[in-house]
Amino acid sequence: MIRAINSFIDRTTMYRLVLYYLLVLFIAALIFGAIGMLPYAPLSIIWSGIVLLLSAWLANTFLAWVFDAVANFESVYITAFILTLIITPVAFSDYFGTITLIIIAAAAMASKYLFAIGKKHLFNPAAIAVALSGLVLGVYASWWVAGNIPLLPFILVGGIMMVRKLRKADVVLAFFATTILVEAVKSSNPISGVWAMFLHSALFFFAFVMLTEPLTMPPTRKLRIAYGVLVGILFVPGLSIGALYFSPELALVAGNFFSYFVSPKGRSMLTFVERRALANGVYEYLFKINRSLRFKPGQYLEWTLGAVPLDARGNRRFFTIASAPEDKLVALGVRFYDKPSAFKRTLASLTSGASISVASLSGDFVMPSDTKKKLAFLAGGIGVTPFASMARHAIIAGESRDVHLIYSCKTAPEIAYKEVFTNASRVGWRTTYALSDESAQGMHHGFINAGLIKKEIPDYAERLFYISGPPGMVDAMKAILLTLGVSRLNIKTDFFPGLA
């Protein structure tokens, strides 16, 4: 059962998983409303959902045309469902309530274009829309989905799946710990106060759905923890600065301000130059960029394609940058499977001059500043991409390091970036290839295991390990290293959101 759930999570894109999560909550609310376990009529919930979805879709379509932007309708649906679940449902006969919903939905979509710098929005659209609604219209978010106990199991189970997918437990745990601590300190009855917050506040829904939005979250672990702490302090019920009382949405908007100032600015447009084959089923795409892109080898971007046919995976993906920061072109390494998604089919059909939008430069999967630190890299399949970026940088910069890479593929023809790693031997890199499905001269036959690590990297206890590949492989390698006595502090894993 657990394996099936993990497989589903790994094969579902992040944005689609969020959408499924919200749909489940929406349907559960309808059912509980119908049997009297929620104080909201199912028809009111449905009507509110229809109004918000339609209004958001129309507003986003119009604004994307006006601003000549790449539209992503998954985010439209996600925002509309969030608003449906946090604004008290209105009946069909409630004209003022219906008009208010239309305004809020339009404001949420407009915020992505009007409150944006370099085509990257500053605020979580749902949060800024309900914050403005409260300040201007006097209509506040009730966060009704989070304050009803029958829905709590659905919020928790789905939320845990979201955190597992995103690999962003750091920001969520920092938020929880801070909120609980502040509530316990300020409450006259700490246990009662914290317990009430667990059961009747927006705590869990807010953390799992809103706090973790990638575009408005800081790019690195330390900054994410600081972000979680800041929002956690402001989230606590009853907290005020003068006459201004904070609400969940205002806490998040304040956090978004912080995130903007510590994050890479803007969204960039890349122009497709060429595609070249790297290995069986693996291709590298090269792009020109319209503005400076400062990144560290091993970091990733969110890539958005326009005009992708509708399928279950959407038109946005997270991919590691395969080029070095010094390269003139930005490289993207991609593996194509037997049944590629609409995104990859569109990628495969790109012609010279076509555009792709990138944003959300993030990631802590980077080499330490101390070049004398011994490193060990374990890669599986296309998970080798961040190491290719690191190797290219080392070659160009003449940066000598003691690096040992063990790279696992099924067969020799599937090995990507072999020339890059061969050239990296000039700056201290050594590479061992492990083939699971065939034997080849000079290569290990079988999977990466404890025996291979001890044989090829006898000083493994002195090294900092980096693991990149499919989630199952990453988990298996981490377990092997822990069995070998490698400290958790000496193991870094890449953000790998699953098959694309």
Pairing of β 464-468 and β 403-409: unpaired
Q: What is the pLDDT of residues 320-343, one digit of tens each?
A: 999 999 999 999 999 988 777 888
Q: What is the mean pLDDT of residues 206-215?
A: 92
CB 59 within 8 A of CB 77: no
Report CA dihedral (393, 409, 356, 326) to the nearest 10 degrees: 10
Cross-strand pairs, 429: 403
CB 335 within 8 A of CB 282: yes
| Confidence at residue 497, expressed as pLDDT on a 0 to 100 scale | 55
DSSP 8-state symbol, 321:
B
| Confidence at residue 293, expressed as pLDDT on a 0 to 100 scale | 84
Q: What is the pLDDT of residues 382-441, one digit of tens each?
A: 999 999 999 999 999 999 999 999 999 999 999 999 999 999 999 999 999 999 999 988
Q: What is the pLDDT of residues 432-454, one digit of tens each?
A: 999 999 998 889 999 999 999 99
**Which two tokens mark 209?**
């759905």
**Backbone φ and ψ of 316, nearest 5°:** -125, 140
Buried b (16+ CB within 10 A) or exposed e, 317-336: bbbbbbbbbeeeebbbbbbb
Look up tokens 């700056």; give the residue. Answer: 427
Helices (H) and strands (E) in the chain, counts: 17, 16
Q: Is 352 helix (H, G, I), strand (E, B) or coil?
A: coil
Look up tokens 């309900």; give the residue. Answer: 130
Q: What is the pLDDT of residues 46-68, one digit of tens each?
A: 999 999 999 999 999 999 899 88
**Looking at the predicted structure, is the pLDDT value of residue 498 above 80?**
no
Q: Which of 211, 236, 239 shows the shortest CA–CA distance to 226? A: 211
Domains defined along the chain, listed by start = 2-262 (no CATH), 268-362 (2.40.30.10), 375-493 (3.40.50.80)
Entry pTM? 0.83
Report CA dihedral (146, 149, 150, 155) to the nearest 10 degrees: 40
Q: What is the pLDDT of residues 222-254, one digit of tens each?
A: 999 999 999 999 999 877 677 667 899 999 999
10 Å Cβ neighbour count for 97? Answer: 20
Q: What is the mean pLDDT of residues 467-475?
A: 91
10 Å Cβ neighbour count for 309? Answer: 10
Q: What is the pLDDT of residues 75-90, one digit of tens each?
A: 899 999 999 999 999 9
Q: Is 150 helix (H, G, I), strand (E, B) or coil?
A: helix
Q: Is 121 helix (H, G, I), strand (E, B) or coil?
A: strand
Q: What is the pLDDT of residues 244-296, one digit of tens each?
A: 678 999 999 999 999 999 887 777 889 999 999 999 999 999 999 877 788 99
Look up tokens 């940066």; give the residue. Answer: 399
Cα dihedral across residues 148, 154, 155, 156: positive or negative: positive
What is the rounded CA–CA span in Å between residue 250 and residue 431? Answer: 50
| Confidence at residue 313, expressed as pLDDT on a 0 to 100 scale | 65
Where does 135-281 show beta strands of DSSP type E?
A: 240-241, 244-245, 268-279
Return the percentage of the chain with pLDDT > 90, whole number: 69
**Looking at the predicted structure, is the pLDDT value of residue 500 above 70?**
no
**Phi-psi domain of 238 (left: phi exceeds 0; alpha: psi -120 through 50; beta: other):** left
| Confidence at residue 243, expressed as pLDDT on a 0 to 100 scale | 66
